[in-house]
Amino acid sequence: MTTAAITAGAGRARRVPRPGVWAATLFLTLVAVAAVAPALLTSGSPDAADALAALQGPGLAHLLGTDANGRDVFTRIVFGAAPSLLAGLGATALGVTAGTALGLLAALGGRVLDEVVMRLVEVVLALPTLLLALLVITVTGPGTVNVIFAIALYTAPGYARLIRAQTMVIRRTGYVEAATSLGLTRGRIVARHVLPNAFAPLLVLATIEVGTALVAAASLSYLGLGPQPPAPEWGAMLAGGRDYFSVAWWIAIFPGVAITLTVLSITVVGRHLRRLSEGRAS
Amino acid sequence: MTEPIVTEPIVEVTGLHVSFGAIDAVRGVSFAVHAGECVAIVGESGSGKSVTARTLLGLTGDGARVRAESFRIEGRDASGYRERQWRAIRGGRIGFVLQDALVSLDALRPVGKEIAETLRLHRDVPGAVSRAETAGRVLELLREVGVPEPELRARQYPHELSGGLRQRALIASAIACHPRLLIADEPTTALDVTVQAQILRLLAERRRRGSGLLLISHDLAVVAELADRVLVMRDGVVVEDGPAARVLRSPGHPYTRRLLAAVPMEHAKGTRLSVAEGETARPIPARPPGEVVIEARDLVRTFGRRTAVDGVSFRLRAGQTLGIVGESGSGKTTTARLVLGLLKPDAGSVEIDGRPWEGLTPAERREIRRHVQVIYQDPLSSFDPRFDVRRILDEALGVGGEPRRTRRDRAVELLEQVGLDASVLDRRPSRLSGGQRQRVAVARALAPRPRVIVCDEPVSALDVSIQAQVLDLLAELQADLGIAYLFISHHLGVVHHVSDHVLVMKDGRVVESGDVRQVFTAPAAGYTRELLAAIPRLDPHPDPHLEDTRPDAPLDVTAPAVRKAS
């Protein structure tokens, strides 16, 4: 009784987030609001061009300045949150789903299927990631959906490997054996015991990987393969500011800061979640 | 050789207190160990026995506060010793042997080097050897602790040695510098019974040669074999202290009596092992044998080139317990997995209620699985870590066909049956004590109303008194419900207590089988006699039945020896 109380207390103490975690959570909340309801954060329109106000520096009229067409950079960053986040989240979700399916298939589908799936996974992992994405988009054409698909294609193998390894371990655990002895069907054991336990560590990893996927999506947009102009997207805005960097640094810098802060915040929150899940496991 | 008259104890502590923050681990313990004497500290986990032992080596750690009225090692006041002084004591003056040699020995170093290091660190003690003599002394030490082929063994790594050899190597390193006192903390707990007997003989030999011995153990029988004095500890306090013969034969404290009543080897089936203070134990009624629930015929199972199970046959009837006893690697667990239908035999068959596992559709197999349930040594690993007790029981009840709306009531009923109340429903097993976890495991096993429960070392990880409670619980359930148990253990005492019939296994084969009384009092096979002779007993005078003077009967290895199968 005493020991249980003490461990529970220690667990709670560890669960109090640090200030950095609070700041990151706050920032991510703002980004999420921007993505869902951009009108709450800015009154302007992302496409409202004003030739007279072109290339103005940050100031009271335009918080983060204006671009070559006189569009407000802050407004465009706010409206750019949705496609940027969508690409990061979508690619990760698709990658995790496909990876989990492949991993389970390899671990539980018998030796032949395991060989086929894992060799395929190795081939994909052997290719340079960005090159693979470029190749896919060359075939499918630019756009957010295709960017998501391209990124998912090269992240899925990593998740598949992880799920396969986890599943291999879990299917030999005492609780799977106990469930088998109870007479549960194979499908039920996989759905109820194997998948949830294999998936738990992946979920935390995936949170952190959303940041990586977001950077990848922004990179593809920067190369002009994402949403097409004039749609606001952080990576595309970064590319648009490239030519004006010496005269109007704010056009490229602020979208870049948005990307960096978002990824940083995701990592901080993801790490915190991981600490929590490890604390629970021990 | 006459022993010199010893006036001064090697170590002497009075009023020892050790606390970790707000927790008082040891409260007012006093004892002394003289040369040629074995003092044993007996207690369950959390009693403070290991902390007491570590204090004598200055190993309590940074967070601990140690106080004592007096604390003397070889006549000198040790209460103010600093790390540097402790280092001279450890290994040099006092040797330390721990339970698990695999953890205590450096995995990346040959054992010879490990022993040589102790010699190297203590060149200033009397009898120390020079650099040049070290290698020879290492071999001498290994020979002294009975390690065969010391030249070969000295070059091997800990993982290449068997458990017994590792423990010997650890003892060799502990005695390398002729320490006057040897502290052994559960030195035989992880070992098979015959290896345990060898290690105990080795320790007795050290004592005979004049070394002091402080033995820490939960096992009263091990203590009875060696100790001159016994201290019984509970919650950091010594509840009883005296000559071993007196404490173990006519204990004064109720806690000592309870510990003695809990020793399974000393009590036949039907005797209650856990007795509350002031209560007289009602015996647990025996069930008459019912119909055959498991029939195993000539089971064979190989893994690669190794034959794990070779021609095992037995029959188990409702309401009865069949014990399978054997040392590690004897094939007990493989036999259990074959019975559970988790492994397919290479030859032979297992029938549950007259239906063989083989040739069934998956649905039919699942239906049979309900009738054969299992509990493991480590219940925690047999529960999904995400599940609380409610979900664990709910799942098991669902499989048993219990309708959803009555499952909660049935779960509470099951918990009551195993001596737990409904408050544990919302807790995860990781938040329960070892005994509670095993009770939850039993409740889950009972949920689908099985005919047989396979018990694979179900009490090996539990404290003596918790072990007694779980064994009593299993016996009561058998009396009430007529469940049959296939009870697997390396612990002969436990098997002796629970079983009606016994199979003795060695190297995958049944070397002897029959009625439990017959096998334990008049063993036919030489191997069984060897095992029985190795069991440490509370009363160290050997059982007259074991002093069998007949020539060794040949090991029955050709045929499965189902002499009496009902």
Chain B contact present for A29, CB below 8 A: no
**Domain of residue A263, residue span:** 82-277
Chain A contact present for B117, CB below 8 A: no
> Looking at the domain assignment, is residue A135 inside a domain?
yes
Contact A175 B381 (CB under 8 A): yes
- The C-alpha angle A221, A262, A84, rounded to 5 degrees, equals 30
- Quote the CA–CA distance of B211 and B37 in Å, as a whole number: 7
Cβ pairs bridging A and B (under 8 Å): 61
> What pLDDT, on a 0 to 100 scale, did the predictor assign at position A22?
93
Statement: residue B554 has pLDDT above 60: no
A7 contacts A279 by C-beta, under 8 angstroms? no
Residue A134: what residue type?
L
> What pLDDT, on a 0 to 100 scale, did the predictor assign at position A23?
93
Give per-residue pLDDT as tens, B180-189.
999 999 888 8
Sort out which chain A residues have CB atoms less than 8 A from B362's CB and list them.
Answer: 185-186
Chain B contact present for A5, CB below 8 A: no
- Please tell me which residue of chain A has the smallest CA distance to B336: A181
Q: B484 or B268, which is more confident?
A: B484
Q: A12 or B302, which is more confident?
A: B302
> What pLDDT, on a 0 to 100 scale, did the predictor assign at position B133?
85
A65 contacts A59 by C-beta, under 8 angstroms? yes
Sort out which chain A residues have CB atoms less than 8 A from B438's CB and list them.
Answer: none
Sort out which chain A residues have CB atoms less than 8 A from B435's CB and list them.
Answer: none
The partner residue sitting opposite B367, judged by closest CB among A179, A183, A281, is: A183
Q: Which residues are within 8 A (CB) of A132 and not within 5 positions of it... i.e. 6 or more apart?
A: A124, A150, A153, A154
> Looking at the domain assignment, is residue A215 inside a domain?
yes
> What pLDDT, on a 0 to 100 scale, did the predictor assign at position B122?
82
> What pLDDT, on a 0 to 100 scale, did the predictor assign at position B407?
94
CA-closest candidate to residue B216, choices B358, B386, B97, B116:
B97
- Quote the CA–CA distance of B289 and B500 in Å, as a whole number: 10
- DSSP code, position A260: H
Highest mean pLDDT among A18-22, A189-193, B457-461: A189-193
How many domains would you assign to chain A?
1
**Cα of A107 to nearest chain B Cα, Å:** 19
> What pLDDT, on a 0 to 100 scale, did the predictor assign at position B358?
87
Chain B contact present for A281, CB below 8 A: yes
Sort out which chain A residues have CB atoms less than 8 A from B396's CB and list them.
Answer: 182
> Looking at the domain assignment, is residue A114 inside a domain?
yes
> Looking at the domain assignment, is residue A248 inside a domain?
yes
Give the CA distances from residue B354 to residues B255, B311, B368, B544, in Å, rounded to whole numbers and listed in that order: 47, 20, 11, 42
> Looking at the domain assignment, is residue A132 inside a domain?
yes
Chain B contact present for A123, CB below 8 A: no
Chain A contact present for B45, CB below 8 A: no
Mean pLDDT value across chain B? 87
> What pLDDT, on a 0 to 100 scale, did the predictor assign at position A271?
85
> Looking at the domain assignment, is residue A67 inside a domain?
no
A222 contacts B413 by C-beta, under 8 angstroms? no
> Looking at the domain assignment, is residue A188 inside a domain?
yes
**Cα of A182 to nearest chain B Cα, Å:** 5
The partner residue sitting opposite A184, judged by closest CB among B376, B383, B399, is: B399
> What pLDDT, on a 0 to 100 scale, did the predictor assign at position A96?
95
CA-closest candidate to residue B41, choices B13, B64, B62, B68:
B13
Chain A contact present for B397, CB below 8 A: no
Sort out which chain B residues have CB atoms less than 8 A from A182's CB and list them.
Answer: 369-370, 373, 395-396, 399, 444, 448
The CATH number assigned to the domain holding A164 equals 1.10.3720.10
Contact A174 B342 (CB under 8 A): no
Chain B contact present for A203, CB below 8 A: no
Mutation pick from B374, B382, B384, B437 vs chain A, by most beta carbons of A within 10 Å, is B384
> Looking at the domain assignment, is residue A30 inside a domain?
no
Its sign, for the CA torsion B287, B289, B295, B299, is positive
